[in-house]
Structure formats: structure tokens, C-alpha cells
């Protein structure tokens, strides 16, 4: 039985993770951590019967011995403190928090190496989104221009999304794009630029998580799009990572590594 602590448990993603851990026969919800709803049974938050796990601080959750994995869906400002605390206790990490910098990831690598702890960090846990990025990487070998449009709910704190940045990193080395000659009448109209790939972020109510990569070629356009219409779309990937992390030494970045893509 894999015993799991979920940080950000009172948030939208955190609650979905808690449901998933509770419902899977191979996992057990060992702790639920948040700064909101402290003392509330997670079952009550999920609209279920009480399950005997109350929202508490991370310090209290990790003081209960036996946790194997911590799943972090918080925000970048809090995630590093959570990660450090878990690593000190020898707890493996599954990190879905976006907005982490390259310096953060390098620090996580060192922390894990020093303590013999494993981590899986993924910008997106939806299987379809991982495939979208892989297909885009393949298409970039043959199409000479590309732009990324990502659309998320208006509560998302970082822009561009981690998925958009990862996609840009995958396709940019393969894109041989000439400089865009258009002048911006409105500053930022052409989006942000990662190397030679323009990235556009949209934040509106009604969206969950969506991305399209648009390739332009001679006489043709190719669009690769993924839509998460519900947060349950991320849960198979989260569960996959929870079950795999103890067997993957060091830090693994990207769910594609687990999927052998």
C-alpha cells in the first residue's frame, strides 16, 4: 500500500487527487495538507462520509510516520518549502505545481540526490496533453513555423503555463523560423517569445486547461490541440506517477518518461 500526503488538498486539483488516492485500492490517503479548511475531514470537503483524515499542516502530516509519497499541487512560492520538508523525511515527490524555475528544479535535483529521494515533476499530468507535446515535437521536424496558444481558467497564477513552456522547449530547436516582421500596434500583440516560438496566454472563466500548437507551412496549416474539460483528466497521470516514483531514481521531468514515449 502506497501511503500518500496531498498538499494543496483543499484546492480544486488537490481535492481531485484526494478522491483518486482514496478510490484506488493500491493507495492510501495518509495526510491532507492546506492552509484553508484546517481541521475539516477531507471526506466532508469531497461531499462524502468522513474518512478520518483531516486537513492539517505539513509538519503534522509528515510527523505521522509511514508516508511514502507527497503529491504537491500548490503554488511555486509554497512548493519549495513543502518539497524540502518531505525530502528531509525521505518521502518521494510527485510535483504538479507549475511556475517552478530551472533553478528550483536544479535545487530539487540536489536535495533528492543528497537524501536518496526520488521525484517526478510534470508540467501536465493529462495523458492526452503529453501526447500533444510529443506530436508537436515530431511535427516541428517538418514544419518551419509554429506558435502556441494556451488557454486556462482565470485563477491560474502563472503565464505561460508549464505545458506551453515545455512545448516551446521541445519544438524550438527544430523550428527554423525567420524573424516576424510585423510591428506591434499594441504591445504584446504577438505574444511572448521563447527563442523563435511565439507563445500566447489566455485567462478566462469557463476554461480548465487547453493548448493548441499551430504550425504553418507552404500552402498548409497543421493544428495540434488538447483540451482538458475536467480536472479528472489529470488523475490517471497522477496515479501513474505515484505508483512509479519509488522505482525511478533521482528526478524525472515529464510524464512522457514514464510512458516510454
> Does 151 have pLDDT greater than 90?
yes
Cell (9 digits) for 233: 483528466
From the list 19, 92, 152, 226, the catalytic residue is: 152
Residue closest to 227 by CA, chosen among 142, 162, 132, 157: 132
Q: Going by DSSP bridges, is the β-strand pair 251-253/119-121 parallel, antiparallel, or unpaired?
A: parallel
| Cβ-Cβ contacts under 8 Å for 220 (sequence gap 6 or more) | none
- 36-86 pLDDT, tens digit per residue, is 999 999 999 999 999 999 999 999 999 888 999 999 998 888 899 999 999
Domains by residue range for the chain, with CATH: 2-121+232-257 (3.40.50.720), 127-229 (3.30.360.10)
- Determine the Cα angle at 198 with ends 194 and 204, to 5°: 110
Q: Which of 15, 92, 156, 210 is catalytic?
A: 156
Q: Which residues of 73-110 are buried (b: 16+ CB within 10 A; e: fewer)?
A: bbbeebbbebbebbbebebbbbbbbbbbeeebeeebee
Kindly report, residue by residue over 19-50, the tens digit of the pLDDT. 999 999 999 999 999 999 999 999 999 999 99
Tell me whether residue 156 is one of the annotated catalytic residues. Answer: yes
Residue 152 a catalytic site member: yes
**How does DSSP assign 86-100, residue by residue?**
HHHTT-EEEE-----
Q: 41: buried, middle or exposed (CB in 10 Å: 19+, 13-18, 0-12)?
A: middle
Amino acid at each position: 500500500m502506497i501511503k500518500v500526503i496531498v498538499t494543496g488538498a483543499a484546492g480544486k486539483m488537490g481535492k481531485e487527487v484526494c478522491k483518486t488516492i482514496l478510490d484506488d485500492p493500491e493507495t492510501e490517503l495518509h495526510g491532507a495538507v492546506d492552509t484553508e479548511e484546517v481541521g475539516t475531514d477531507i471526506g466532508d470537503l469531497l461531499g462524502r462520509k468522513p474518512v478520518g483524515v483531516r486537513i492539517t499542516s505539513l509538519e503534522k502530516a509528515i510527523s505521522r510516520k509511514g508516508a511514502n509519497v507527497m503529491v504537491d499541487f500548490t503554488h511555486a512560492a509554497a512548493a519549495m518549502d513543502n518539497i524540502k520538508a518531505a525530502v528531509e523525511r525521505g518521502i518521494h515527490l510527485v510535483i504538479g505545481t507549475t511556475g517552478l524555475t530551472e533553478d528550483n528544479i536544479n535545487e530539487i535535483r540536489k536535495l533528492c540526490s543528497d537524501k536518496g529521494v526520488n521525484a517526478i515533476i510534470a508540467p501536465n499530468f493529462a495523458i492526452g496533453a503529453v501526447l500533444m507535446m510529443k506530436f508537436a515535437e515530431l511535427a516541428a521536424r517538418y514544419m518551419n513555423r509554429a506558435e502556441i496558444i494556451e488557454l486556462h481558467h482565470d485563477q491560474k497564477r502563472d503565464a505561460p503555463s508549464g505545458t506551453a513552456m515545455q512545448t516551446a522547449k521541445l519544438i524550438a530547436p527544430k523550428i527554423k523560423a525567420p524573424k516576424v516582421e510585423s510591428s506591434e500596434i499594441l504591445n504584446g500583440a504577438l505574444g511572448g517569445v521563447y527563442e523563435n516560438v511565439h507563445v500566447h496566454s489566455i485567462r478566462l472563466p469557463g476554461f480548465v486547461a487547453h493548448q493548441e500548437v499551430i504550425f504553418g507551412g507552404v500552402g498548409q496549416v497543421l493544428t495540434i490541440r488538447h483540451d482538458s474539460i475536467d480536472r479528472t483528466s489529470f488523475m490517471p497521470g497522477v496515479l501513474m506517477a505515484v505508483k512509479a516514483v519509488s522505482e525511478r531514481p533521482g528526478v524525472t521531468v515529464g510524464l512522457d518518461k514514464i510512458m516510454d514515449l
